[in-house]
Amino acid sequence: MALVEAFANSLSPMVITDARAPDNPIAWANEAFLKVTGYSTEEIVGRNCRMLQGPATDQATVERIRGAVRAAEPISVELLNYRKDGTPFWNAMTITPVRDSDGLAFFYAAQADMTHIHQLEVSMRGTNDELERLVDARTQDLSAALEQKTALLHEVDHRVKNNLQVISSLMLLKARRTPEGEARDALQSMAERIGALSTAHRMLYSEGDCTHFNLGEFAAEFLADMNAGLDPDRRRIEADVEPIAVAAAMAAPLALLIHELTANALQHAFPGEREGRVSIAARRTDDGMHLIIRDDGVGLAATPVNPAGFGRNLVEMVVRQMRGTIVWADAGPGTTVTIDIPLRPLP
Amino acid sequence: MGIGNAGTETALRILVVEDEALIALELESLLEDLGHVMVGVAGTAAEAIALGRSTTPDVALVDIHLVDGPTGIEVARALSADRRTTVVFMTANAKRIPEDFAGAIGVIAKPYSERVVASTLDYVADRRAGRADPACPDGFSPAPA
């Protein structure tokens, strides 16, 4: 009976039930089984294994065991069982039907206490939950910070635009209350410059991309604003400007530049009732932007020298700021101003 | 300037809802130049709604940020409830406008140019007169249909 001894001394809890007796009672259990469950042999022999079940035992698993026992099929399951002292433990068991010459005789069940594995799983789940909670918390912090920054950007953008409107209104109000003459003209042309800056600024941040400025879009708006103040039968501004994307920082200088050259041409190239046309053309080159502003007016030589020369000064300053070059030429007829501004090479 | 083309038959009675006094004052001069009539200026939501009731303007130009906060939205909703009044937002804060535009027909973005104000008012006058499908002026963003 070496085999029986081996079973009896095995560290794995084992139990044998009598399949032929009513209610399949326990017929034999080894020392390890008694130790795990806390019962003595007398307390369990003759009773059904369901005595080990308790309130948190999964009934579906119990049903599976019953089904297998009824069909006399082997089954491996894990079930929450209870010791004599009421403490639960996870019992992993393999139940095997044993037959003799008369048919089904016993069920043999080998078991293993899986409580520590379950504890590990629970604590792993706990650790994962904790990690996820931390990640969630950080993500929330970051989203909140981003939301705050976005709100701040909108607020600043709104204030800048509103202030531009106030400055423009202030200039126009003063112009309206100033008698016709040099002072009034100066205020009027300042208001126009602010208008050009406003047009540029309106286009910044209006779309999703807040780092770029589209010169083509600006030219279209600028043209519409300028032409609205002209008699279309006598004077006309035209533009052929590619949709060049430039850094947002260049929006204001470019807007000022284009406004100044156009306004200058309108003011000086067509004295009296002379009719004329101003054209603005811009295209992207490999390493920059090529801008031409042309009029068919009286030409540079015929233009009276303006002692203040503010317009021309402003233009040259802005071109220098953008590290560009500018050439003023008599085009006969008219004047051609050619500007090259370096841009980051196209990718 | 000669940018106004509102004849007496297209002169609009306009309520300006704007908390910035300088902007309102300049806007009044501009509206006069364009041949329209400003019937009042309001800087708060309550003032705007009360003036809307007492003057029933043809058009209300409504800023979103007023003295009492971003209340221009509710002003637009209240004023547009009277079908005789056409509401146009005029704001540097277009991102705050709700999807349904609170009853307004569109928005003029600040900083605006005089041209856009002029052409938008012409457009509003055409719409109110029932002239078939006037072209939407550029610089004016209409509310989604």
Query: What are the DSSP calls for B48-94, one per residue?
Result: HHHHHHHH--SEEEE-S-BTTBSTHHHHHHHHHTSTT-EEEEEES-G
Q: Assess whether A321 and A191 both reside in one domain.
A: no
Tokens of A11: 């560290």
Q: Give the residue from chain B lying closest to A226, CA to CA.
A: B115
Mutate to test the interface with A, among B19, B90, B110 (most CBs of A within 10 A): B110
CB contact under 8 A, B23 and A154: no
Any A CB within 8 A of B22 CB: yes
Q: Assess whether A17 and A70 both reside in one domain.
A: yes
Q: Assess whether A193 and A292 both reside in one domain.
A: no
pLDDT 10s digits, B94-142: 888 999 999 999 999 888 888 889 999 999 999 888 876 778 887 788 8
Assigned domain for A284 exists: yes
Domain of residue A73 covers: 2-113
User: Could you say which of A84, A113, A142 is where a domain stops?
Assistant: A113
Instruction: Give ipTM to 2 decimals.
Output: 0.82
> pLDDT at residue B9 above 70?
no
Summary mean pLDDT of chain A: 89
User: In total, how many domains does chain B have?
Assistant: 1
CATH number of residue B100's parent domain: 3.40.50.2300
Q: Assess whether A276 and A306 both reside in one domain.
A: yes
Closest CA to A158 of A215, A210, A201: A201
CB contact under 8 A, A198 and B113: yes
How far apart (Å, rounded) are the C-alpha atoms in residues A225 and A222?
5
Q: Assess whether A93 and A185 both reside in one domain.
A: no
Assigned domain for B54 exists: yes
Q: Assess whether A250 and A344 both reside in one domain.
A: yes
Assigned domain for B74 exists: yes
Q: Assess whether A219 and A345 both reside in one domain.
A: yes
CATH number of residue A63's parent domain: 3.30.450.20
Q: Assess whether A235 and A203 both reside in one domain.
A: no
Assigned domain for A134 exists: no
User: In total, how many domains does chain A have?
Assistant: 3
pTM here is 0.68
Assigned domain for A318 exists: yes
Q: Assess whether A297 and A215 both reside in one domain.
A: yes
Assigned domain for B6 exists: no
Any B CB within 8 A of A166 CB: yes
Q: Assess whether A308 and A222 both reside in one domain.
A: yes
pLDDT 10s digits, A24-62: 999 999 999 999 999 999 999 999 999 999 999 999 999
Assigned domain for B38 exists: yes
* Phi/psi of residue A12, nearest 5 degrees: -80, 130
